[in-house]
Amino acid sequence: MDKKLSKILIDKDTIDNEVSRLAGEINRDYAGREILLVGLLKGCFVFMSDLMRKITVPCSIDFMIVSSYGSGTQSSGKVNIIRDLSEDIKDKDVIIVEDIVDSGITLDCVMDILRSREPRSLKLCSFLTKPSRRKRDIVIDYCGIEIEDEFVVGYGLDYAEKFRELPYVGVLSD
Binding site for Mg ion (CB under 5 A): 43, 99
CA-based nearest residue to 170, from 145, 153, 149, 151:
153
Task: Give the shortest CB-149-to-ligand IMP separation in angstroms.
Answer: 9
Nearest to 25 by CA among 57, 47, 49: 57
User: Using CA atoms, how far apart are residues 114 and 111, in angstroms rounded to an integer?
Assistant: 5
Sequence-separated (6 or more) residues with CB below 8 Å from residue 3: none
Identify whether 102 is a catalytic site residue: yes
Q: Kindly state the smallest distance separating residue 44's Cβ from Mg ion, in Å.
A: 6
* Only segment of 10-18, 26-34, 101-109, 112-120 that touches ligand IMP (CB under 6 A): 101-109
Q: Which does 152 bind (CB under 5 to 8 A by kind): Mg ion, ligand IMP, none?
A: ligand IMP
Site of interaction with ligand IMP (CB under 6 A)? 43, 68, 71, 98-107, 151-153, 157
